[in-house]
Structure formats: structure tokens, C-alpha cells
A and B are shown apart, each in its own frame.
Chain A
Amino acid sequence: MAEDAASQAKLMTIVANGQPWHVPRESTIADFLGQLALTPGRVVAMLDGTIIPRERFAETRLHEGCRLELVTMVGGG
């Protein structure tokens, strides 16, 4: 139990693309993508409504309850 509480304390919940995710505290956007093993070719983020280009993923920290949108290109007309 104590161990669970300790690991819980190290995690935070964020909402990414509409779903809740548990990520280590202090994670950056780049850390989150790394955790998911995602290496998208073209991607842009929106963190709580602010656009974050890929170059800033490594320096942009997530926080408890934040809303992250990760957006890419798909087929369209």
C-alpha cells in the first residue's frame, strides 16, 4: 500500500486527445510521446489551448489535469 501511494505520488493524470493518461510528474510532451513509443513524422501539440510546435516538446512540461492535444496529418480532400 505504501509503495502504491509512493508511486501514485510520482504520477499525475493528464487528458491527452480526450483520454486520461497517467504520466510521471514533471514529464514534458517529448517524455509523454516517448512513454507511448510514438515517433510521429509530423506532429503539433496544443496544451490547454496554446499551440506548441515540435521544437518545444522537450522543454514543455505537462501538469496535473492539463489538456493536451496531439495533432497530425491524415488523408483528406
Chain B
Amino acid sequence: MTEDLLTIGSRTFRSRLLLGTGKYRSFEEMQQSLETSGTEVVTVALRRLDLSHPGQPTLLDYLDTERYTILPNTAGCKTAEEAIQIAHLAAAMGLPRWVKLEVIPDPDYLLPDPIATLEATRQLVKEGFEVLPYINADPVLARRLQEVGAVTVMPLGSPIGSGQGLLNLPQIQIIIEQARVPVIVDAGIGAPSDAAFAMELGAAACLINTAVAQAGNPVLMARAMKLAIEAGRAAFLAGRIPRRPQAAASSPLTGLVGSPS
């Protein structure tokens, strides 16, 4: 059997679990969680350097940038212009020329702006970026983003950090059915069953942060998510049985002990 690889734009990975690096209780827990998860792609945010505390440990002291491919996000950006600027800064920092594009004007539900996301994608693709847009689960938008050159689409299962699972299931199914690029379910995954379910439906990968970072034991949850993603992927490739309205016995219905004939 040929190896089942995930290709996002020009990059290829074995793991189908992308992990965030935010919200861990300590850098040590983050480091161990990343390791246990088997992830190859980790997201980071760009923020002002803390000028007042030199010598304080930072993410970089705990993140092996040789081992993991760093995917910069544009979290915190409310407009296309802001997001484009963050992508430029990330590239100037020497990070890979790809970006998890988030344009989020709404602070309560953190729902992305579809129009600004499309505009920013179009511009960044023109500039040679590989763009991974974070979107609401809108199949039409997903198609438009592919048309302008997005290398994946990343529909949310439910709002960021909410752990509500896959609330947009029918829409995500349509996106998967129509997509020519890998579909990465990003946001809302609360438990391994959510991740496995997304993979069973044919998602190419899942991007998870809070469900691991804020778990009672993040390192153990990272392992659980790894297994769930692998199980879900294998189930998708294997092909699940159809749902039937009536039972179908698993054991033979003939040769019953003590039957008259």
C-alpha cells in the first residue's frame, strides 16, 4: 500500500494533525504535547516583542523550528490589509511563505469575514504565498477561494475555542464533496470523537489547539487526538457501511441449534 500523505500546496506531510501552540499552561506542556501528537505543522501568532522583560523564556526556546513546519496565522487581524501585513512580516521573519489566513472582525463568536478573507487570499496568492484560509463552513465561499488559488480551505466546526464539535456538519460535507484542495477542519473540535468524525467524513486533516492545550492532561489528550485522527482517516479510506433502517444479523440465520428442520 502506498503511503497516505497529506499535501498542502508545495508541502507534504505524514501527520494529518495540525496543532496550535497557544493557551498551554506551560511551554513544557506545549513541547511535550507537540511531540506526543506526532504533528509536523504547528501554528504561531505574531505579536509585539516584550521589550520590558529581556531574558524571559519565549515560545522559541521551546519550539524546534527544524522539526516542525511553522504555519504563521493572522489571528487578531480585523481587515484584509492587516492580515496581508502580518503575512509580509512573517515572511520577512524568515518563516515559510505560507499563512493561515484569519480575518476576524467579530470578538464574541470569532467568525471570519468571508469577503475580506477572499480579498486577502487573492492578493497574497498573487504575491506568491500559499494561503490557508480559515472560513465559516460555506461551500460557495470555499469554491471561490479555490478559484483564486487557496491551497486548502479550513472550515470551522464551531466557534474557535468553544469545543462544541462539528455543528456545521452538512455544510462541511458539501465542502469536502466539492473540494479539489484538502479540507482541514479548523476550530471547534472539543474531543477526539469530533476529530475522528471529521476524518471519517473525508476531511484531509484537523487543526486543533484549545482541545489539547486546555485539557486536564494536554499530553495525554495530544495522544488521544493523534489516535483519533489516524482512526478516522483509516475508516474513511476503508469505507464505512451504509446506514440501514433495520437490523441485519451478524451470525448465520440457518443451522440454529434445536430447530425442527
Residues on A facing B (Cβ under 8 Å)? 16-19, 21, 36-44, 46, 51-54, 69-77
Contact = CB atoms under 8 A, between A and B. Distances in A.
B11 interface: no
Given A42-B65, A73-B63, A73-B95, 12 more contacts: A36-B54, A40-B60, A42-B94, A51-B88, A70-B51, A71-B47, A71-B93, A73-B44, A75-B20, A76-B43, A77-B23, A77-B207
Contacts of B43: 76-77
B48 A17 contact: yes
A44 B93 contact: yes
Interface of B: 20-24, 30, 43-49, 51, 54-55, 58-61, 63, 65, 70, 72-73, 75, 88-90, 92-95, 160-161, 187, 207, 209-210
Contact of B20 (A36, A72, A76): A76
Contacts of B51: 16-17, 19, 21, 36, 38, 70
A2 to B, nearest CB: 31
A43 to B, nearest CB: 6
A51 B187 CA distance: 31
A34 B9 CA distance: 39
Nearest to B53: A38
Given A19-B51, A53-B92, A73 B46 contact: yes
B92 A75 contact: no
B114 to A, nearest CB: 20
Contacts of B72: 73
Contact of A38 (B47, B49, B95, B160): B49
A74 B56 CA distance: 13
Q: 10 shortest A-B CB distances, which residue pairs?
A: A76-B45, A77-B20, A77-B209, A41-B60, A75-B21, A75-B22, A44-B93, A70-B49, A17-B48, A73-B44
Contacts of B46: 71-74
A44 B21 contact: no
B49 A40 contact: yes
B73 A73 contact: no
B60 A69 contact: no
Given A71-B89, A76-B45, A37 B55 contact: yes
21 contacts: A16-B51, A38-B51, A40-B49, A40-B60, A41-B58, A41-B61, A44-B93, A46-B89, A51-B92, A71-B46, A71-B49, A71-B89, A72-B47, A72-B48, A74-B22, A75-B20, A75-B45, A76-B21, A77-B21, A77-B22, A77-B210
B222 to A, nearest CB: 14
Nearest to A56: B92
Nearest to B62: A75
A72 B58 contact: yes
A73 B48 contact: no
Contact of B30 (A21, A42, A75): A75
A40 B92 CA distance: 15
